[in-house]
Structure 1
Amino acid sequence: MSLTVSVLALLVALAALGLELAPRVRRSRRDPGDVSDLPEDALGLRHEVAALRAEAATALKNLAVVRYDAFEDTGGKLSWSLALLDDRGDGTVLTSIHGRTEARTYAKTITGWVCEQPLSPEESDAVERARGR
């Protein structure tokens, strides 16, 4: 029963993350061959490049996963922490802790590479790896 609840919680967390990411994905689905809306002058192209850089800065492209055994009586490194962050260090860290009889899933908001809530060592490691350290 608790595994079912844990799986349901994970699905809800992933659905919420999908809703957060949907506008970013939609913006990036422009056909690369479609140049009809691109300016023809150099200044216009510079503005377009600047806009693309600004949009890319908010993409969740800094990712890292840390797998580990949360409890001594379990193996296989089934527990994990996943950091999903943009260039400013804004995003989330998702953690799923698996035991013998249950699994729990947590989501914590990261702003500017910092979390208001205490991070576990594994969550901190995932954030630092996503940051490139």
Structure 2
Amino acid sequence: MNISVLLTVLVLLLLVTSVVAIALAVVALKRSQPGHARRASAMKGAASLPTDVDGLRAEVQALRVEVAEALRHLAVVRYDAFGDMGGHLSWSMALLDDGGNGVVLTSIHGRSEARTYAKNVAAWSCDQALSPEEEEAIKFAKAS
């Protein structure tokens, strides 16, 4: 196996591992917040749920607030970063919540190296300059 192919595979595995670690960290952070304890106790049994309509509405509203901060909007855009290479090996991925807050990750694959970038996104925009592919990933995530 060619050394550059091996390095590319290793970099991609490292990137996937990093994304999984970020996702697990977000889940752990969400679980450590006070709303999780209330939700966990409510799920222990149907007897703990409110039986009146107003109580159920309040429960649904609380769940909506909690879910709004989840990274539910995801989009991946694959492309060729360089004209002399094919295969759409480069990509940009947006991971955002309902308010458009999150991160856009980009991996640029070249012949001899791959580079990975992460940019914070707040309210569907970024303070740093975005590539057209990153903007497209955010646009697709917003539509999802």
Whose helix proportion is higher, 1 or 2?
A: 2
Shorter-chain TM-score range: 0.7 to 0.9
1:32, CA displacement in angstroms?
Answer: 7.1
* Corresponding residue for residue 105 of structure 1: 116
- Bigger-Rg structure (1/2): 2
How many angstroms apart in 2 are the aligned matches of 1:76 and 1:34?
51
Among all aligned residue pairs of Structure 1 and Structure 2, give the percentage whose two residues are the same amino acid: 52
* Corresponding residue for residue 22 of structure 1: 28
* Corresponding residue for residue 77 of structure 2: 66
* Corresponding residue for residue 62 of structure 2: 51
CA RMSD of aligned residues (A): 2.8
Aligned 1:63-102 pairs, distance under 5 A: 63-102=74-113
How many angstroms apart in 2 are the aligned matches of 1:99 and 1:120?
16
How many residues in Structure 1 have an aligned counterpart in Structure 2? 132
Higher alpha-carbon deviation: 34-43 or 61-70: 34-43
* Corresponding residue for residue 133 of structure 2: 122
How many angstroms apart in 1 are the aligned matches of 2:92 and 2:75?
8
Unpaired runs of at least 5, structure 2: none
Give the match's secondary structure for 2:105: strand
Q: Relative contact order, CA 8 A, sep 6+: which one is greater?
A: 1
Q: Which amino acid aligns with 1:115?
A: C
TM-score by length of 1: 0.82
Give the match's secondary structure for 2:112: coil
Unpaired runs of at least 5, structure 1: none
TM-score by length of 2: 0.76
Query: C-alpha deviations, 1:18-77, integer Å up to 9, x for none?
Result: 3123344795x9697942331122221111010011112112111111000001121100
* Corresponding residue for residue 11 of structure 2: 6
